[in-house]
Amino acid sequence: MARRESSSAIWIFTILISVALLLGLSIVESEYTRKTSVLEAQKIESEMGASTLRKINELAGKWYLATAGKLEQAESDLDSLYSDDPVQRAREERFTESLYGGNSKLNTWIDSRKEAFLDLYYWVLRRVALFVVLLPLWIPLAILAVFHGLQEREIKKTDFGYTSPVMNHWARQVIALSILTTFLVFFAPIAIDPLVFPLIMAAITVAIGIAVGNIQKRI
């Protein structure tokens, strides 16, 4: 029962934080996004080097251009929804214009939201690119953590050592929370220190070793 309550509390907390982030992202201005993104890029360059920043920007730029092209294609596809009949098409265009064209403030707000969304989208892609760049360094450590945990478990089986279900449970909780934190960091509307990702990866690595090393023995 306690485990279920703990798990439910974690998920409720995660949902609330996610909603708060989405609300924050919905009101973030494009100018703020650009300035904060530049500040984050400067942190990456100072802590990881200019070559790492170039690699991250190239990767994020490639993803952005590939998906932005699809967004433009989707907008052009919307235009094809109009009727081929000239009279009917004119009516449909007038109807669309009546919905948005008569409200200049609404049009301005929609355009600003589009611009801010694209800036935020690139910002998120660059954080994902940073995570991907770090993966080749982390995966060997994770494999070593699994191997170390298995060896520790084998030692406990031979000398009748104690494998703690409590340690196993909390290690798995740390892994789950670290993964959720990584997801939330991707969308945080503030400048993130690039060392956050290595720290999260380190926490996951240690937790993996503890969780594997404390899997219940079956002799």
**pLDDT the model gives residue 88:** 65
CA dist., res. 137 & res. 146, Å (int): 15
DSSP string, 64-87: HHHHHHHHHHHHHHHHTTS-SSHH
Q: Is residue 190 helix, strand or coil?
A: coil
Residue-level pLDDT at 2: 46
Main-chain dihedrals φ then ψ at residue 217, nearest 5 degrees: -75, 145
Domain boundaries of the chain, sorted by first residue: 21-213
The DSSP secondary structure of 12-63, one letter per residue, reads HHHHHHHHHHHHHHHH--HHHHHHHHHHHHHHHHHHH-HHHHHHHHHHHHHH
* Ordered mean pLDDT values, 10 residues apiece, the chain (219 residues): 55 66 66 86 91 93 81 55 61 58 62 77 90 93 92 78 82 90 85 92 93 76
By CB neighbour count within 10 A (0-12 exposed, 13-18 middle, 19+ buried), where does 171 fall?
A: buried
pLDDT of residue 74: 53
Q: What's residue 26's pLDDT? A: 64
Decide: helix, strand or coil at residue 157.
helix
Specify the pLDDT at position 1.
47
pTM higher than 0.95: no
Phi-psi region for residue 193, left (φ > 0), alpha (ψ -120 to 50) or beta? beta
End-to-end CA gap in the chain: 28
